[in-house]
Structure 1
Amino acid sequence: MDLLRGAIRTYAWGSRTAIADFTGRPVPAPHPEAELWLGAHPADPAWVQTPDGEHSLLDALRADPEGQLGSAVRSRFGDVLPFLVKVLAADEPLSLQAHPSTEQAVEGFAREDRLGVPVNSPVRNYRDRSHKPEILIALEPFDAMAGFRPAAQTIELLRALAVSELDPYVALLSGGAESDGLRALFTTWITLPQPELDVLVPAVLEGAINYVQSGATEFVAEARAILELGERYPGDAGVLAALLLNCVHLEAGEAIYLPAGNLHSYLRGVGVEVMANSDNVLRGGLTPKHVDVPELLRVLNFTPATADDLHPGIERDGIECSYLTPADEFAVSVLHLDGADLGHEVDAPCPHEGPQILICSQGEVDVVAKSGELTLERGSAAWVSADEGPIRLVAARAATLFRATVGI
């Protein structure tokens, strides 16, 4: 068991304060910090801090896969850590995006290899052969747009905006299967010629302004989100596409689970993400990065869902609160130490076989394992290898740990 130093990713939409403050570094940071990667992805592995010095988690797994991962994990996933943990901080909206299924990722990776597209090319869609289901747990209030809203609710929204230019498109959602209507409307909007976008997007923004000023409340979150996106990405088809998505607001501790094919955009906030160990992203707009609309259309799932459908179930067992997802690659929980648990050793509920990554988000915790103990403060993380056995926790004051491990 060792402390784990994450790899910081700097993207324009990140925050100059959130991750720096979380990890106890000077604020503001020199550049916007968007993600703190805590895992063994080849693009940016975390660093294990051992008595013999610091080395990458990727190298540690290569040197001792049996001790680090355990036989059960190796038999299922080979000699790789199947999950990736991130702390994400968004000061601006992320791109409109979705992630592929395993079958789509395998086929897409092979196709781009045959075409000779370098893995690190900015126009590469598939950087590995894995799907990328993910869960985000908010550390503070967090806003997102995700999942195609049921067609009837979207029709109400479009009519509430009272934009005559939208009238021809409402019919695409009426009659027939909802998923077919959503596919037809999304495809129409995302492929509109720029001259048409330059007329329709400003009209929609004017309708959103009028709606907010009217004092109406039913769709005020949607109207404000569209206005924010339109201001940052004028004339972008993604502004229209966002009209089809649920507005999702999370308070601290609440979560959203995004399976393959779910169209989404994180708008703002700080959270802990856990996902399959993949960097496959298909973008559809709201970004200066590579956008591949035909490929995005190949992976999207147009089955409608409500915002409530996107929240994972929660199961409590003593100090542990587990977020239930169908992902094989990861399992995520939060360990809360408070009240009668303070001041003495508490057994952490035993996770599934395999390694763990711990992140302290509040307070200070002593973590005790087979090889010894270490102290985690807010913003610090630990790598607990498979051969470390069950862990025990000691806290003198209220503390919270996020725990990621391999799914059942």
Structure 2
Amino acid sequence: MTVELLQGAVRAYAWGSRTTIPELLGRPVPSPHPEAELWFGAHPGDPARVLRSDGTETTLLEVVDADPDGQLGARCSGRWGGRLPFLLKILAAEEPLSMQAHPSAEQAAEGYAREEAAGIPRDAANRNYPDPTAKPELVCALTEFHALAGFRDPHRTVRLLRAIETPGLARYAELLAGQPGPDGLRALFTTWITLPQSALDELLPEVLEACVRHVQDRGEFAAECRTVLELGEVHPRDAGVLAALLLNRLTLRAGEAIYLPAGNLHLYLHGTAVEILANSDNILRCGLTPKHVDVPELLRVVDFRCGDMPVLTGEPDGGAAVYRTETPEFELSRIDWDSDDRRELELDGSGPEILLCTAGELLLYDDEGTKVELRRGESVWRPASDPAVRVRAVGEHTAQLFRATVGTCLQEL
């Protein structure tokens, strides 16, 4: 067994928490600065460190680059050019992130080629496509997790707009009521995010005042209005505040997840989660950020199909809950043990994987007597060439393990 401990890379962003990641890693709380993400992967920007049993360290990126076929398996290595196709994260959102969408594989390849031909530096602030790959993602709540994701059913959105109706908002409600489908959503969304600043400065205060009244009256859309008010307080002149009125408002419980395919417009609001995504940096931002917003490119990427956002709870499979999606880049599964549960599960060697302990203590071991203990906040890398191992909880507490692998659809090819 060549299981190797990983040390995740901490990413400090202003929207992060000063307590979540330090507590997970057993460090002093609070941290000096907000810590937003903990990366477990081989992303070139911040790869996880591999802690060898002989006391030496290297990065997972260097490990994969040195032997891509052995580490990833020939099929995975060939499909993604010797790159680990997924990135596993802990996400600790104390404040809202930017509103954004990600391109499909075709859009990413075309956009990357276009910007390369134009000579835009890959690290330029106005670069939309620093790489030619798609960026689907899945987020699974560890705590109560709040998000906006996907366009709400337009009929329900019309009810919301009429419930907070103001003189300036009335015509937009009727615009959507006259065309309650993806085309109407595209028209309204496009109108709002291209409004002149003078028009925004007139409309937004009206909308925010109406949201205050709706919350005070405990109206049907109080949760949606509270979110708009929170966003408006931080970004009082941003069209993204209006766009938030069009999206599904979700509250995920621990263990619930949402999958965000290409084109899904979304915004993470607050909470702690495990996130897995394709190993890409391609982001098209809508607003609620000081970073670059390319409206024409955003409109090319956003998917205006609408309806309730599916919430995944994981399909039972061999003692695990598996969050199945259509993407070949990744698959996430979750294994939970109660305090008196001593089940022993076998993890096969079907592909490269990262195992992350998010609660309790675990023991990994093989037939040769090799053992690795894994505590809360710790993770390991298992190359594709590794044989099957067994895992069980130890101690008297509940335990939880997340397993990140390539997608089943690739494994079964």
Would the TM-score normalized by the shorter structure come out above 0.5?
Answer: yes
The answer for unaligned runs of 5 or more in structure 1 is none
1:17-70 Cα distance to aligned partner (Å, 9 max, x none) = 111111111111121111111111111111111134110101001111122111
2:130 matches 1:127? yes
Partner of 1:348: helix, strand, or coil? Answer: strand
Question: Partner of 2:328 in structure 1?
Answer: 328
Question: Partner of 1:104 in structure 2?
Answer: 107
Q: 2:240 aligns with which of 238, 241, 248?
A: 238
Partner of 2:191: helix, strand, or coil? Answer: helix
Question: Partner of 2:378 in structure 1?
Answer: 380
Q: 1:39 aligns with which of 22, 38, 41?
A: 41
Question: Partner of 2:255 in structure 1?
Answer: 253
2:190 matches 1:187? yes
**Comparing 24-33 and 130-139, the one that deviates more:** 24-33
Q: 1:172 aligns with which of 151, 175, 180?
A: 175
Amino acid in the other structure paired with 2:239? A
Instruction: Give 1:319 deviation, angstroms.
Output: 2.3
Partner of 2:150: helix, strand, or coil? Answer: strand
Cα contact 1:319–1:348 (8 A) shared by 2: no
Divergent runs of 4+, >4 A: none
Instruction: Give 1:224 deviation, angstroms.
Output: 0.4
Query: For this pair of structures, how many residues does the alignment match?
Result: 402
Q: Name the CA shift for 1:82/1:18 in 2 (closer, same or farther; >3 Å).
A: same
Q: Name the CA shift for 1:167/1:370 in 2 (closer, same or farther; >3 Å).
A: farther
Question: Partner of 2:95 in structure 1?
Answer: 92
What is the TM-score with the length of structure 2 in the denominator? 0.94
What is the TM-score with the length of structure 1 in the denominator? 0.95
Q: 1:361 aligns with which of 358, 380, 383?
A: 358
**Comparing 395-404 and 178-187, the one that deviates more:** 395-404
Amino acid in the other structure paired with 2:277? M
Q: What percentage of residue pairs aligned between the two structures are identical?
A: 54
C-alpha distance in structure 2 between counterparts of 1:153 and 1:391, whole Å: 49
**Comparing 270-279 and 330-339, the one that deviates more:** 330-339
The answer for unaligned runs of 5 or more in structure 2 is 409-413
Instruction: Give 1:118 deviation, angstroms.
Output: 1.3
Instruction: Give 1:305 deviation, angstroms.
Output: 2.1
Q: 1:148 aligns with which of 135, 151, 157?
A: 151
Q: Name the CA shift for 1:370/1:111 in 2 (closer, same or farther; >3 Å).
A: farther
Amino acid in the other structure paired with 2:359? Q
Note the aligned Cα RMSD (angstroms). 1.5
Instruction: Give 1:300 deviation, angstroms.
Output: 0.3
Cα contact 1:319–1:337 (8 A) shared by 2: no
C-alpha distance in structure 2 between counterparts of 1:75 and 1:373, whole Å: 31
C-alpha distance in structure 1 between counterparts of 2:179 and 2:227, whole Å: 29
1:231-275 Cα distance to aligned partner (Å, 9 max, x none) = 010111000000000001101111011000000100000100001
Partner of 2:168: helix, strand, or coil? Answer: helix
Instruction: Give 1:315 deviation, angstroms.
Output: 1.1
Cα contact 2:314–2:333 (8 A) shared by 1: no
Question: Partner of 2:411 in structure 1?
Answer: none
Instruction: Give 1:369 deviation, angstroms.
Output: 4.3
Instruction: Give 1:114 deviation, angstroms.
Output: 1.5
Q: Name the CA shift for 1:60/1:34 in 2 (closer, same or farther; >3 Å).
A: same
Cα contact 2:96–2:270 (8 A) shared by 1: yes
Question: Partner of 2:317 in structure 1?
Answer: 317
Amino acid in the other structure paired with 2:39? W
Cα contact 2:152–2:308 (8 A) shared by 1: yes
C-alpha distance in structure 2 between counterparts of 1:103 and 1:236, whole Å: 30
Q: 1:159 aligns with which of 146, 162, 170?
A: 162
C-alpha distance in structure 2 between counterparts of 1:205 and 1:70, whole Å: 54
C-alpha distance in structure 1 between counterparts of 2:131 and 2:160, whole Å: 38
C-alpha distance in structure 1 between counterparts of 2:399 and 2:151, whole Å: 37
C-alpha distance in structure 1 between counterparts of 2:158 and 2:193, whole Å: 18
1:98-150 Cα distance to aligned partner (Å, 9 max, x none) = 00000111111111112221111222111111111100000100000110111
C-alpha distance in structure 2 between counterparts of 1:279 and 1:197, whole Å: 30
Cα contact 1:13–1:90 (8 A) shared by 2: yes
2:136 matches 1:139? no
C-alpha distance in structure 1 between counterparts of 2:120 and 2:212, whole Å: 43
Partner of 1:305: helix, strand, or coil? Answer: coil
Partner of 1:140: helix, strand, or coil? Answer: coil
C-alpha distance in structure 1 between counterparts of 2:295 and 2:33, whole Å: 30
2:60 matches 1:57? yes
1:289-334 Cα distance to aligned partner (Å, 9 max, x none) = 1111111111000011213x3x236211242111111111111100
Partner of 2:16: helix, strand, or coil? Answer: coil
Instruction: Give 1:340 deviation, angstroms.
Output: 6.2
C-alpha distance in structure 2 between counterparts of 1:256 and 1:248, whole Å: 10
Amino acid in the other structure paired with 2:297? E
C-alpha distance in structure 1 between counterparts of 2:236 and 2:6, whole Å: 41
Question: Partner of 1:269 in structure 2?
Answer: 271
C-alpha distance in structure 2 between counterparts of 1:171 and 1:140, whole Å: 38
Cα contact 2:154–2:180 (8 A) shared by 1: no
1:381-403 Cα distance to aligned partner (Å, 9 max, x none) = 11111111212113223211000
C-alpha distance in structure 2 between counterparts of 1:315 and 1:348, whole Å: 17
**Comparing 249-258 and 111-120, the one that deviates more:** 111-120
Amino acid in the other structure paired with 2:8? G
